[in-house]
């Protein structure tokens, strides 16, 4: 027994001596890679409730870790506070740095935090894994409670959709009734008003002069004179047809001029042949003209209309048609 106790004492003394000898020596440097760990608490929380996300980085002591965090790694959660940083020295010259955030969310449903990368000095370090969270819906499973809050149903318990259709239908009926009343009032007021007399129709002279002046306004921009001469010819033929009563606009130039020799006064026939033959040369043969010649032709047409309209009209004596003068 005494030999066994002496043997144990020797071993205890050797271990103590080895421990005392090792206290004065430096520990060998650590060779493992930096570690990044992400935690969250609680994993389930209600909208607006604050939860804590913690990022723990174990790294060499000569570098300072910086988490690369944006809204995306934080799952679009709202940051209430942070990040707060806390360092702890480890063996082998390493450190443990802990970053913590106070976060919250407002939309019920699943949320994922991470992965969060860490920058160690000038180099990019490892990334953490991601964590799945859930923002609980406070109303889920409480349909029965909501029904109880409604209380006892009334006599007319109409569904919301049917109620909206009923309100829309009543509104349309009221709108139609108002429109009908307004239309009836307008009709009644207008029925009592005397009809507005229409003004006298324009004379052939007024229509012809208006058309010729419109052609004169386009003269500065005309590049092709055929349409211009065509319109001048047609305006003058229509005036003669309305003023003297023969089909001037539906006859050829030869037929029209032949009829004009008997239907028009001698004074109005002067220069009429030259005017209409010149129009035909431009319209059909492409005879070259310029703006000056076109302006002269317009003046000729205007003068003819004025002379023809202002000519003395024969005076009919009452009873002359029956042979009694």
Specify whether the CB–CB gap between 325 and 319 falls below 8 A: yes
The span from the CA of 280 to the CA of 11, in Å, is: 142
The residues spanned by each domain of the chain are 35-135, 204-309
The per-residue pLDDT for 317 is 46
CATH 3.40.50.10860 matches 35-135: no
The span from the CA of 79 to the CA of 219, in Å, is: 77
Please classify residue 241 by burial: count the beta carbons closer than 10 Å to its beta carbon, then call 0-12 exposed, 13-18 middle and 19+ buried: middle
Write the CA distances from 181 to 106, 110, 173, 189, 190, integer angstroms: 53, 59, 12, 12, 14
Instruction: Write a three-state SS string for the chain.
Output: CHHHHHHHHHHHHHHHHHHHHHCCCCCCCCCCCCEEEEEEECCEECCCCCEEEEEEEEEECCCCEEEECCCCCCCCCEEEEEEEEEEEECHHHEEEEEEEEEEECCCCEEEEECCCEEEECCEEEEECCCEEEEECCCCCCCHHHHHHHHCCCCCCCCCHHHHHHHHHHHHHHHHHHHHHHHHHHHHHHHHCCCCCCCCCCCCHHHHHHHHHHHHHHHHHHCCCHHHHHHHHHHHHHHHHHHHHCCCCCCCCHHHHHHHHHHHCCHHHHCCHHHHHHHHHHHHHHCCCCCHHHHHHHHHHHHHHHHHHHCCCCCCCCCCHHHCCC
Specify whether the CB–CB gap between 83 and 69 falls below 8 A: yes
pLDDT tens sequence for the chain (325 residues): 555 566 667 666 666 665 555 554 555 566 678 888 888 888 888 888 898 989 898 888 878 888 887 666 777 788 888 788 889 988 888 889 998 989 898 888 898 887 888 888 778 878 888 888 888 888 776 655 555 555 565 555 667 788 888 899 999 999 999 999 999 888 888 776 666 666 788 888 888 899 999 999 998 998 888 998 999 889 988 888 888 887 777 788 888 888 888 888 888 878 888 888 888 888 888 888 888 988 998 998 898 888 888 877 655 444 444 443 3
The per-residue pLDDT for 152 is 60
Structure tokens at 294: 């076109």
The per-residue pLDDT for 146 is 52
- CA nearest 228: which of 307, 295, 285? 295
Please classify residue 77 by burial: count the beta carbons closer than 10 Å to its beta carbon, then call 0-12 exposed, 13-18 middle and 19+ buried: buried
For residue 171, the number of C-alpha atoms closer than 13 Å in the C-beta half-sphere is 6
């Amino acid at each position: 027994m005494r030999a066994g106790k002496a043997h144990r004492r020797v071993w205890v003394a050797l271990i103590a001596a080895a421990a005392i000898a090792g206290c004065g020596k430096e520990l060998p440097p650590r060779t493992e890679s930096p570690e990044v760990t992400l935690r969250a608490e609680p994993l389930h929380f209600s909208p607006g409730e604050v939860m804590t996300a913690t990022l723990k980085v174990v790294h060499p002591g000569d570098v300072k870790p910086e988490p690369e965090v944006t809204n995306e790694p934080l799952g679009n959660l709202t940051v209430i506070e942070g990040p707060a940083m806390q360092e702890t020295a480890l063996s082998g010259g390493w450190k443990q740095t802990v970053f913590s955030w106070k976060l919250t969310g407002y939309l019920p449903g699943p949320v994922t935090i991470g992965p969060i990368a860490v920058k160690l000095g000038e180099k990019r370090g490892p990334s953490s894994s991601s964590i799945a969270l859930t923002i609980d819906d406070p109303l889920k499973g409480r349909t029965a409670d909501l029904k109880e809050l409604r209380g006892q149903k009334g006599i007319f318990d109409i569904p919301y959709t049917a109620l909206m259709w009923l309100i829309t239908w009543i509104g349309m009926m009221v709108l139609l009734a108002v429109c009908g009343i307004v239309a009836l009032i307008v009709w009644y007021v207008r029925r009592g008003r005397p009809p507005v007399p229409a003004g006298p129709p324009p004379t052939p002279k007024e229509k012809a002069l208006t058309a010729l002046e419109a052609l004169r306004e386009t003269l500065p921009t005309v590049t092709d004179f055929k349409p211009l001469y065509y319109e001048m010819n047609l305006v003058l033929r229509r005036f003669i047809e309305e003023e003297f009563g023969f089909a001037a606009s539906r006859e050829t130039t030869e037929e029209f001029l032949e009829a004009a020799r008997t239907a028009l006064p001698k004074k109005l026939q002067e220069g009429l042949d030259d005017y209409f033959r010149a129009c035909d040369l431009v319209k059909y043969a492409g005879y070259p003209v310029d703006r000056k010649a076109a302006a002269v032709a317009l003046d000729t047409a205007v003068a003819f209309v004025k002379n023809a309209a202002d000519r003395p009209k024969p005076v009919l004596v009452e009873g002359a048609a029956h042979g009694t003068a």
